[in-house]
Amino acid sequence: MMMKILLASPRGFCAGVNMAIESLELALARFGTPLHVYHEIVHNQYVVKRFRDAGVTFVETLDEVPAGGRVMYSAHGVSPEIRQIAAERNLQTIDATCPLVTKVHKEAVRYAKGGYTIILVGHGGHDEVIGTMGEAPNSMVLVESPQDVDALEFPATQSLAYLTQTTLSVDDATRIINRLRERFPNIANPPKDDICYATQNRQEAVRELAREANVALVLGSQNSSNSQRLVSLAKEVGIPAHLIDAAAEIDFAWFGKDDTVLVTAGASAPEIVVEDCIAVLRKQFGAVVEPRAIREENVHFPLPRELRGLATSDRS
Ligand code: SF4
């Protein structure tokens, strides 16, 4: 016996993250610095450090961008208030919001215009949730658990709708939505699930493969919602799971020499950190790799409008 690595697929970069990273690379090459990004371009330390080292300035508020300066919005999107402040300060904006996040924003606007109160299922404080709630701040409430749903009170005549953050646990969201439907049988829901294809596929792979493994290694940053969900899912299946940014964080005490190790990566984690981890496990334990693809992904998003025509690749 020897250590086996079940290398899950799909894993790692999704179409939204690919688009955001390509956008920032292109903007940097075309416009140079100073170049600001509002919030982390994607929630990954490795990616953010690489761009910071290349001269990109990440900001938490637009005050940090000089008037007339150039700023990119991250894949997680921004509220209309931020767009307005940017316009007032004459900032040159590039919008790298993932189209699947924009879709949720549009649904929020549509329901709010229709007089609905919108219940957003998500994690408080996440960049995406802040941006989405900003579309209709007076018509939205956030719920994070079935208990939150129990605490909701609305007049019987109030029209209700729900939306979800794109990177939730499918199982947790289902529990919360079921409770919403129990309490508010007439609640309206979006035509299609808001949890994005990449989140669903990465979770499906872990759900399926964790049963064959003794331990899971998830590459991703602590503030990456979809990566955190992969860890929770592996634990729910009954195996220990560790969320790490890089191979240097591996603790050999996590593994037995004959273990089957499930290796996957959140949607914002680059493949290089996966390869590094595999190399470490190979060297230390003589691990053999068994790639396991449970689904094909073939999704691409166009570059932001502001960058189209600038690309040198055939994606332009
Ligand atoms: S995880 Fe989903 S919603 Fe988020 S950037 Fe990727 S594709 Fe878009």
Please write the tens of the pLDDT for every residue from 3-50: 999 999 999 999 999 999 999 999 999 999 999 999 999 999 999 999
Which residue's entry shows tokens 């590094």? Answer: 276
Query: Atom 5 of ligand 1 has which residue's CA nearest to it?
Result: 16
- Beta strands 241-244 and 140-143: pairing type? unpaired
Instruction: Residue 227: name the closest of 79, 121, 126 by CA.
Output: 126
Report pTM.
0.94
Cβ contact 76:20 at 8 Å: no
- Residue 312: pLDDT band (50, 70, 90) is low
Ordered alpha helix ranges (H), 210-310: 225-237, 271-285
Q: Measured on CA atoms in the order 115, 121, 124, 127, is the torsion positive or negative?
A: negative
- Among 143, 142, 145, 199, smallest CA distance to 175 is for 145
CB of 290 closer than 8 Å to CB of 261? no
Residue nearest to atom 2 of ligand 1 (CA): 196
**pLDDT reported for residue 315:** 46
Q: Which residues pair with 65 in a beta bridge?
A: none
The CA distance from 194 to 207, in Å, is 20
Question: How confident is residue 193, by pLDDT bands cut at 50, 70 and 90?
Answer: confident
Q: Is 101 in the pocket of ligand 1 (CB under 6 A)?
A: yes
Weakest-pLDDT range from 151-155, 218-222, 271-275, 305-309: 305-309
HSE of 52, CA atoms in CB hemisphere, 13 A:
13
Nearest to 36 by CA among 47, 52, 50: 52
Q: How many angstroms separate the CA atoms of 10 and 214, rounded?
A: 20
CA-CA-CA-CA dihedral for 103, 106, 111, 113, to nearest 10: -170
Task: Work out the average pLDDT over 46-61.
Answer: 98
Confidence of residue 192 (pLDDT cuts 50, 70, 90): confident
**Residue 311 — very low, low, confident or very high, per pLDDT cuts 50/70/90?**
low
φ/ψ (deg, to 5) at 7: -95, 105
**Closest to 232 (Cα-Cα) out of 173, 178, 177, 181:** 173
Q: Are 149 and 183 in contact (CB under 8 A)?
A: yes
How far, in Å, from the CA of 308 to the mean position of ligand 1? 20
**Mutate which of 13, 17, 223 to test ligand 1's pocket (most atoms within 8 Å of Cβ)?**
17
Closest CA to 247 of 287, 214, 212, 299: 287
DSSP 8-state secondary structure symbol assigned to residue 304: P
Cα–Cα dist 107/210, whole Å: 35
| Active-site hit among 40, 107, 128, 135 | 128
* Tokens linked to 300: 């691409």
- State the closest ligand 1 atom to the C-alpha of 299, by its place in the atom list counted from 1: 7
Give the Å distance between the CA of 312 and the centre of ligand 1.
24
Residue type, 148: D
Q: Give residue 316's pLDDT band: very low, low, confident or very high (50, 70, 90).
A: very low
Helix/strand number for the chain, H first, E second: 10, 12
DSSP for 115-130, please give it. Answer: T-EEEEES-TT-HHHH
Percent of the chain with pLDDT over 90: 95
Annotation marks residue 64 as catalytic: no
The yes-or-no verdict on residue 314 having pLDDT over 80 is: no
